[in-house]
Amino acid sequence: MIINTDSTDAPELDVYFRLTEAQLRNRKEESKGLFIAESPKVVSVALGAGYEAVSLLCVRGETDAASKELIDSLPDVPAYAVTPEDFQKVTGFALTRGLLCAMKRKPPADPGDITRGAKRIAVLDGIADSTNVGAVFRSAAALGIDAVLCTKTCCDPLLRRSVRVSMGTVLLTPWAWIDGIDDVKSLGFLTAALALDENSVSIGDPRLKNADRLALVLGSEGYGLKREVIDACDYTAKIPMTRGVDSLNVAAAAAVAFWETRL
């Protein structure tokens, strides 16, 4: 049911207009937190993955067919319609026929549970840009990565931009928080840090490609992985470059590494 509103001051709209992403997450009790899914396609993916919708936000008088169909399919979920100007306050740019959905988070996953039987996983350490995190998740889903583990220094994969850039695949790919590389090794994975290092092997090295269980460790956009993380890994791997280029953006590097080490 669409509810037209002339004011964004209502408490039920706090989730869109006043709560920060950190407040939405609710670090103390993450299972009680929320996240925002954007676009009918991503919201549909989230619903299909078992996430529960709390409310919807749309542009008054500019609801397209896909958004209207989605709203009609959720008769018990309030859909608040605001002016284009107010909607832009949330998105940060002019977006007609837009749709946002506040959704409940699931309880945090257990790393051991989601990697049981996994052959290829990604480990994200210190990646602060939600766009890059979303792009890594999309490549992981497309290129056969079974699960993603994120250290506490990585940004939240359920940030709105991350969810959007991933095209909802962050909601489909099993992922969990970990403390560090020791957690990964304790799960039985050979670990390979993607980094520029004099001891690096090529990402196409047979020891990596033929590993029964391989964890590819990816680091921050600016400085890459910390020395202690690299030293804790079994291998350091690099993607061979030409024309004087030393490295790729972390999201691009992830896609290359996932493809090159696929089984």
The pTM of this model reads 0.91
CA 249-105-15 angle, to 5 degrees, is 90
Residue 28 confidence (pLDDT) above 80: no
Amino acid 97: pLDDT: 55
Segment 166-192 mean pLDDT: 96
What rounded mean pLDDT belongs to the chain? 91
Handedness of CA 42, 184, 261, 135 (dihedral sign): positive
The strand ranges marked E within the chain are: 2-4, 34-38, 53-59, 79-82, 99-104, 120-124, 147-151, 175-178, 190-194, 201-202, 214-218, 235-238
Segment 138-151 mean pLDDT: 97
Residue 123 confidence (pLDDT) above 90: yes
Least confident of 64-73, 88-97, 134-143, 195-204: 88-97
Domains within the chain, CATH numbers bracketed: 2-104 (3.30.1330.30), 111-260 (3.40.1280.10)
Segment 2-17 mean pLDDT: 89
Segment 30-46 mean pLDDT: 90
Amino acid 96: pLDDT: 47
pLDDT over 90 percentage in the chain = 71
More confident residue, 37 or 93: 37
Order of all β-strands in the sheet with 34-38: 2-4, 79-82, 53-59, 99-104, 34-38
pLDDT over 70 percentage in the chain = 96
- At position 84, the amino acid (one-letter code) is P
Residues 40-99: tens digit of each pLDDT: 999 999 999 999 999 999 988 877 888 899 999 999 999 999 988 888 877 665 554 579
Q: Does residue 166 contact residue 138 with C-beta atoms inside 8 Å?
A: yes
